[in-house]
Amino acid sequence: MHFRRHMELEHGLKQIDIAPLIDMVFQLLIFFMLTSSFVMQPGIKVNLPKAVTSETVKSENVEILVSAENVTYVEGRVFTLQELKALLKEAAKRNQSILIKSDKRASLGRVVEIWDMCRDMGVGQISIATNQEE
């Protein structure tokens, strides 16, 4: 029993209809474009101040963030000054460096307070993050 469709494939098809394939590819492309644009990256928005003499820090640091509202974050979690003291004591024992990322609208007093706390706990290397001025 030979079916007509099977016979056409054996003798060679003159033209392949790729319109359904193109439709599916475009639908998949549109689907992935729409779903990927709605993925939000969690984090705390910090506008770093600009500096001409900034350097790139390559070592592993403990990052302390100070937001524009003077709220202190470590690893995305709000830290009080007592919790920060305990963290800095552990960082000093492990000889880790501290990187302070402060919003340019944050209080200088808060940054100096954290800096002083780091020095008091015995942290050897303290850096302040900036954007390089162009």
Same domain membership, residue 59 and residue 27: no
Same domain membership, residue 25 and residue 61: no
Give how many domains the chain has, as a whole number: 2
Residue 31, in any domain of the structure: yes
d(CA 98, CA 122): 11
Other beta carbons within 10 Å of 92: 17
Residue 45, in any domain of the structure: no
Same domain membership, residue 123 and residue 68: yes
pTM: 0.58
Tens-place pLDDT, residues 97-123 = 888 888 888 888 898 899 899 889 888
Residue whose C-alpha is closest to residue 116's, from 126, 106, 130, 101: 126
Residue-number span of the structural domain to which 24 is assigned: 4-36
Tens-place pLDDT, residues 67-104 = 888 899 988 889 888 999 999 999 889 888 888 888 88
Residue 20, in any domain of the structure: yes
Q: Give me 69's structure tokens.
A: 């509202």
Q: Give me 110's structure tokens.
A: 């808060």
